[in-house]
Amino acid sequence: MAIDLLYFAWIREAIGRDGETVDLPDGVKTVAMLIDWLAERGGGYTEAFVDRSRLRVAVDQEFAGLDASLAGVREIALFPPVTGG
């Protein structure tokens, strides 16, 4: 299953790109599993996801938890806690 990933703020800087499309391996069923899978790539990915407590997620443009399912999802955004206003 192909899924679009978007990265913002220091997650984007650590990874070195603002997004990508990936083909999910069969066993990857939640956002947390997706992050584990990405972190295994090493380098900036590992660095970006080292502290999960500082990670926030949107699933198809809605804020979600790390336990959110990836079933039928088209877009996942990974970013730090927001700091607007």
Partner 1 sequence: MTPDIRVQHEAFDPGVECARLEIDNVGAVASFTGLVRGEGGLAALTLEHYPAMTEDALRRIAEDAAGRWSLAGLTVIHRVGRMTPGDRIVFVGAASRHRGDAIDAMHFVIDWLKTDAPFWKREEFADGRSSWVEAREGDITQKKRWA
Binding site for partner 1 (CB under 8 A): 6, 8-10, 58, 61, 63, 75, 77, 79-85
Provide, rounded to whole angstroms, the least separation between the CB of residue 72 and partner 1.
Answer: 18
Q: Rounded CA gap, 58 and 65, in Å? A: 8
Provide, rounded to whole angstroms, the least separation between the CB of residue 25 and partner 1.
Answer: 26
Output 8 or 37, the one with its CB closest to partner 1. 8
Output 17 or 29, the one with its CB closest to partner 1. 17
Output 25 or 65, the one with its CB closest to partner 1. 65
Q: Rounded CA gap, 76 and 19, in Å? A: 10
Nearest to 58 by CA among 49, 50, 66: 66
Nearest to 47 by CA among 30, 63, 35, 32: 35
